[in-house]
Chains A and B, each alone.
Chain A
Amino acid sequence: MGRYDVLVIGGGIVGLTAAIASAGQNARVLIVDAGINAGSNANAGSLHVQLQSRFIRLYPDQAPNVEASLPLYLQAVREWERLDALFGSFDLVRKGGLMLAEGEDQLRFLEMKARREEARGLSVEILDRRQLDALAPWLGPQIMGAELCRDEGKLNPLAANVRLRAEARRLGVEFLSDQVVSLHVDGAVVRAKGQGGQVHAAKQAVVAAAWGSGPLLKGWGPPVPSRAEPLHMNITEPGEVRINHLIQHAERSITLKQFGTGQIVIGGGWAAHDRGNASVPSVLAASMLGNVALAARLVPSISRLRVLRTWAGMNTTVDGKTVIGRLPAAPNIIVAVPGDAGYTLGPLVGRAAAEIAAGQPPSFEIANYGPSRFAA
């Protein structure tokens, strides 16, 4: 028998919150993490709720799945607020998100999108330029209007990660640095074999390994199509704090927001260059120029600030929907991959994984999110 009740593979936001929820119920938990390319270490802290235009544009095939998951995003933001109150502060601000339109057709698109989102329970509204000026007077003159989604927000992921890690330690969660190469089930025990041959055993395993999940679960039923997606980010020096909202665009890839430190964070899905899993992705000139120039056109009053740094990290996409549930082929292995805007979804998915492990009904209806959906 292993010393552990729950073995969590992957120490990103999902693994961390799964461990906290399990240990909070007195389970003995070990997190084994490869320490490479965690999206949670690279992400921008946007709390996404409304449909991101990038999915509709880049991955139209995934859009219906994302749309069906909208209520999950709403619930996920509430889960973040709960954690912020318990373990924060994470600098969580929930003043809403603005998706900008630069032309009539973009505004029409947002109106259509808003209707669909309203039907899923989101609090959204279309604003014209005059109404926008009251909220965001610093926008470029070409902006005609925007969709305001009141449910959206932002937080400082660095603060959240540090605080949550400290909480996990306080609860007795153990951390180990290793890459799991294979899983073995031996009756009531799951054994995870590490890179150096070390074996980590527990009664149940939560696979929260993001892009590493698909390869790790190979041979355990229908393949989980997790895909690594290297993404680019930029951050400026601090400026006067005036941008409350999470800013996006109706057609183009961008997120822009201001942290409590006054720094502006610019990202939103521009590509980075994958250099394999041994090193972090590298920054592409085209992404840096394109992403920052777009930000400067939408919000000209940030132009005097200087970009301090860019970075690149590994996002994980699946099919537009979270993957959560026990493996049909091995019920003591639980898969927990949040999917798009995975940092937003992370704590909700992590908590659900812990609830499943404890044999409790999960916080949301998981029937549509199980790994068996990938059966051909």
Chain B
Amino acid sequence: MAREPIVHFDGMSIPIKAGQSLAAALTAAGQRTFRETSKGSSRGIFCGMGICQDCLVTVDGAPNQRACMTLAHDGMQVSTQVALAPLMDAPPLDRAPPSRQISPDVLVIGGGIGGLNAAIAAAQAGAQVVLLDERKVPGGQYLKQSAVADEPLDVQQAEGQKLVSAARAAGVEMTGGVEVWGAFDGLLFLAEHQGGALVIRPRKVIVATGAYERPRMTPGWTLPGVMTTGAAQTLWRSYRTLPGKRVAIFGTGPLNIQVALELAQGGAEVAAVGEAASKPTRNIASGIALIKANATLALKGVMMLAGLRHRRIPIHYEANLVGVEQVDGRLAVTYRDSSGTHQTIVDALCMNDGFEPQNEILRLLGAEMAYDQDFGHLRCRRGETMETTVEGLYAVGDCAGLGGAPAAAVEGRIAGRAAAASCRDEALGDISGLHAQLRRHRAFQSALWRMHSPAPRTLTEALDETIVCRCEEVTLGELRQSLTDKPGHAGTMKRATRAGMGRCQGRYCGPVVARLVAEETGQPLRDHSYFAPRVPIKPISIAAILAAQEALDGQI
């Protein structure tokens, strides 16, 4: 009989399932620590989507590989990532797939619900469309597909399966595992695919890169076993792996409720769900607005709450995390709600305190942004067709500012049609119907979020010891100290404290630093308040840059 497939991790044999990510396989085997920081602390999976860079491991000799983005293969040699990887030559370029240069009519970056809809609409309108996504599993966040099972988990996954097939049928060229790391004026994009370079000069580009999760910064939030709610959801929905046997989920918003139920249905014991907002029964007006905007979705929300109640999973309202500590290989989670301070022991703590748009490409290309006070993040200015203030650059879905999956889908359809029409100098037909749908979805979203608390929480009461920059391990105390020097800009504070200088490129600490500085100067937040956008969009190996340089050899 054939041996079960395994990977070797620090000398142990870890069983794997076909299609599983390394992060999922290690998590299933109870391994939580993936890398060590230069200050000697341990880290593991956090974001589950390739941005936090805390799941780094060494794979077959190659250092700093993201376990969450790496497919597990039988016989792989995996080890804990040391802080300073040895210097070593890369495999010769001729072992990488040949580089490619393409000039599609429409390039779609991001294959979530927004990008898939955009690609389908553009292709159906006659454009030649290329869709690239960093993940190997298609569908983005909302529609993420399973990598280990053929049968969709539920309606949501089935909808994704249909959309992916529809994109293929419409003739969209879809490639996964492609990291778009460079975006330059004149619409030049540089990407990496399996070590080779991909150079794209599209006529139009639709950015649909989605959002990432805002964490709840609290002492202990960097411990292995603490992860975002989305990371836990990806473990389960894409890899049928539970983040732990017993879990707690804290933060705000509908995702926490949904994932609590999904994990419970998958067999996890959900110890507690903490929501920062007050109980919905105290917010009847928003409830009515929800039902008016979309009764089906409102009902889905009610069913989820009922599902939790049925399983006797308590939701604590007005709840806030106080801290997390490691106790005997598990996590002691302390939280406070109206009834006092409580502690619960779990294997994994999930957190989602709202979302931040992945707007790096839009900002790099100079698209105009405005600060949205209610959500506490930038929104991209767009016209009727979802075109930004940069000609030929469209933005759809959460990357332009939180809007939710149904709105992302409609925005995608609008942008896809508009980009295709503009490629062929054709008039864009009537899109008023799509705009009517979009208004309805947006009304639902805004009513939904009024029941939660989407603005970033202030850190006024947080302890000095709270880490704000995970990568460089910079604490709130250090940032407060540097405020006394009146930095005047986030970039100045970054240079003084190193906050934002690490591998995640300031995605988590950046918004906090910008807000701290704004509070100090009394200036309103705007695009310029944040760290300056720069390439690479994600860390990219020198070998991949060399490949791109050779591919372009003198052409730029």
Residue ranges of A at the interface with B (Cβ–Cβ < 8 Å):
35, 41, 138, 158, 161-162, 165-166, 169, 175, 177, 236-243, 261-262, 280, 282-286, 288-290, 292-293, 295-297, 300-311
Of the candidates B502, B534, B541, the one whose C-beta lies within 8 Å of that of A310 is B534
Instruction: Spot the interface stretch: B206-214, B265-273, B512-520, B545-553.
Output: B545-553
Cβ–Cβ contact B85 & A305, under 8 A: yes
Cβ–Cβ contact B541 & A293, under 8 A: no
Contacts of B190 in A (CB 8 A): 285
Inter-chain CA distance A286–B199, complex, in Å, is 13
Nearest-CB distance from B504 to chain A (Å)?
A: 9
Cβ–Cβ contact A308 & B546, under 8 A: no
Nearest-CB distance from A32 to chain B (Å)?
A: 14
Cβ–Cβ contact B488 & A303, under 8 A: no
Cβ–Cβ contact A237 & B488, under 8 A: no
Of the candidates B489, B501, B536, B541, the one whose C-beta lies within 8 Å of that of A303 is B541
Inter-chain CA distance A354–B549, complex, in Å, is 47
Inter-chain CA distance A237–B505, complex, in Å, is 11
Contacts of B88 in A (CB 8 A): 301, 304
Cβ–Cβ contact B89 & A301, under 8 A: yes
Inter-chain CA distance A204–B239, complex, in Å, is 70
Query: 5 smallest A-B Cβ distances: which pairs?
Result: A293-B549, A303-B90, A306-B539, A289-B549, A301-B87
Cβ–Cβ contact A303 & B546, under 8 A: yes
A sample of 23 cross-chain residue pairs with beta-carbon separation below 8 angstroms, ordered by A number, consists of A138-B87, A166-B485, A175-B486, A239-B86, A240-B86, A261-B38, A262-B84, A284-B184, A285-B184, A289-B548, A290-B549, A292-B542, A296-B545, A303-B542, A303-B543, A304-B64, A305-B542, A306-B503, A307-B536, A308-B501, A308-B503, A309-B536, A310-B535
Inter-chain CA distance A304–B550, complex, in Å, is 17
Nearest-CB distance from A148 to chain B (Å)?
A: 21
Contacts of A303 in B (CB 8 A): 89-90, 541-543, 546
Q: Contacts A289-B552, A303-B542 known; list 5 others, CB within 8 Å.
A: A238-B83, A238-B84, A240-B85, A305-B542, A308-B501
Nearest-CB distance from A156 to chain B (Å)?
A: 10
Contacts of A284 in B (CB 8 A): 184
Inter-chain CA distance A285–B552, complex, in Å, is 10
Nearest-CB distance from A283 to chain B (Å)?
A: 6
Asked if B292 is at the interface (CB within 8 A of a chain A CB), the reply is no
Asked if B456 is at the interface (CB within 8 A of a chain A CB), the reply is no
Nearest-CB distance from B506 to chain A (Å)?
A: 9
Inter-chain CA distance A162–B499, complex, in Å, is 14
Task: Produce 1/0 per residue, B468-506, CB < 8 A to A.
Answer: 000000000000000001101100000110100111010
Within 8 A of A (CB), among B425-483: none
Asked if B160 is at the interface (CB within 8 A of a chain A CB), the reply is no
Inter-chain CA distance A241–B549, complex, in Å, is 27
Inter-chain CA distance A289–B542, complex, in Å, is 9
Of the candidates A169, A239, A292, A301, the one whose C-beta lies within 8 Å of that of B546 is A292
Contacts of B38 in A (CB 8 A): 238, 261-262
Cβ–Cβ contact B495 & A309, under 8 A: no
Contacts of A261 in B (CB 8 A): 38
Inter-chain CA distance A309–B64, complex, in Å, is 16
Nearest-CB distance from B487 to chain A (Å)?
A: 10
Cβ–Cβ contact A300 & B90, under 8 A: yes
Closest chain A residue to B61, Cβ basis? A304
Supposing A237-B503, A289-B549, A310-B536 touch, asked if A296 and B495 sit within 8 A by C-beta, the answer is no
Contacts of B542 in A (CB 8 A): 236, 292, 295-296, 302-307
Closest chain B residue to A294, Cβ basis? B549
Asked if B357 is at the interface (CB within 8 A of a chain A CB), the reply is no
Closest chain A residue to B552, Cβ basis? A289
Cβ–Cβ contact A308 & B502, under 8 A: yes
Supposing A240-B84, A295-B542, A307-B539 touch, asked if A35 and B90 sit within 8 A by C-beta, the answer is no
Residue ranges of B at the interface with A (Cβ–Cβ < 8 Å):
38, 62-64, 83-90, 182, 184-185, 188, 190, 485-486, 488-489, 495-496, 498, 501-503, 505, 532, 534-536, 539-543, 545-546, 548-550, 552, 556
Nearest-CB distance from B101 to chain A (Å)?
A: 13
Nearest-CB distance from A138 to chain B (Å)?
A: 6
Contacts of B502 in A (CB 8 A): 308
Supposing A285-B188, A306-B539 touch, asked if A292 and B545 sit within 8 A by C-beta, the answer is yes
Contacts of A236 in B (CB 8 A): 542
Supposing A300-B89, A308-B505 touch, asked if A293 and B546 sit within 8 A by C-beta, the answer is yes
Inter-chain CA distance A328–B175, complex, in Å, is 67
Contacts of B532 in A (CB 8 A): 280, 311
Supposing A292-B545, A300-B90, A304-B543 touch, asked if A283 and B534 sit within 8 A by C-beta, the answer is yes
Contacts of A310 in B (CB 8 A): 534-536
Chain A interface, DSSP helix/strand/loop, else mixed: mixed
Contacts of A138 in B (CB 8 A): 87
Inter-chain CA distance A89–B488, complex, in Å, is 25
Inter-chain CA distance A236–B536, complex, in Å, is 11
Supposing A304-B88, A305-B541, A308-B505 touch, asked if A169 and B495 sit within 8 A by C-beta, the answer is no
Cβ–Cβ contact B84 & A241, under 8 A: yes
Contacts of B85 in A (CB 8 A): 238-240, 304-305
Contacts of A311 in B (CB 8 A): 532, 534
Inter-chain CA distance A205–B160, complex, in Å, is 67
Cβ–Cβ contact A309 & B534, under 8 A: yes
Closest chain A residue to B186, Cβ basis? A285
Nearest-CB distance from B507 to chain A (Å)?
A: 12
Nearest-CB distance from B190 to chain A (Å)?
A: 7
Inter-chain CA distance A101–B496, complex, in Å, is 37
Nearest-CB distance from B177 to chain A (Å)?
A: 16
Nearest-CB distance from A116 to chain B (Å)?
A: 34
Closest chain B residue to A300, Cβ basis? B89
Nearest-CB distance from A165 to chain B (Å)?
A: 7
Contacts of B546 in A (CB 8 A): 292-293, 296-297, 303
Contacts of A239 in B (CB 8 A): 63, 84-87
Cβ–Cβ contact A283 & B535, under 8 A: yes
Nearest-CB distance from B539 to chain A (Å)?
A: 4
Closest chain B residue to A289, Cβ basis? B549
Contacts of B63 in A (CB 8 A): 239, 304
Inter-chain CA distance A103–B542, complex, in Å, is 24
Contacts of A286 in B (CB 8 A): 556
Contacts of A285 in B (CB 8 A): 182, 184, 188, 190, 556
Inter-chain CA distance A174–B549, complex, in Å, is 47
Contacts of A301 in B (CB 8 A): 87-89
Nearest-CB distance from A336 to chain B (Å)?
A: 23
Contacts of A282 in B (CB 8 A): 185
Cβ–Cβ contact A240 & B536, under 8 A: no
Closest chain A residue to B182, Cβ basis? A285
Nearest-CB distance from B32 to chain A (Å)?
A: 22
Inter-chain CA distance A289–B546, complex, in Å, is 7
Q: Which of A241, A242, A302 has the most CB of B within 10 A?
A: A302
Cβ–Cβ contact A293 & B89, under 8 A: no
Inter-chain CA distance A295–B546, complex, in Å, is 9
Contacts of A289 in B (CB 8 A): 545, 548-549, 552, 556
Inter-chain CA distance A237–B545, complex, in Å, is 15
Contacts of A280 in B (CB 8 A): 532
Supposing A302-B87, A305-B85 touch, asked if A288 and B535 sit within 8 A by C-beta, the answer is yes
Cβ–Cβ contact A41 & B495, under 8 A: yes
Inter-chain CA distance A201–B185, complex, in Å, is 44
Inter-chain CA distance A127–B541, complex, in Å, is 31
Nearest-CB distance from A310 to chain B (Å)?
A: 5
Cβ–Cβ contact A307 & B556, under 8 A: no
Closest chain A residue to B184, Cβ basis? A285
Supposing A239-B87, A310-B534 touch, asked if A304 and B505 sit within 8 A by C-beta, the answer is no
Inter-chain CA distance A36–B543, complex, in Å, is 34
Cβ–Cβ contact B548 & A307, under 8 A: no
Nearest-CB distance from A307 to chain B (Å)?
A: 6
Cβ–Cβ contact B505 & A309, under 8 A: yes
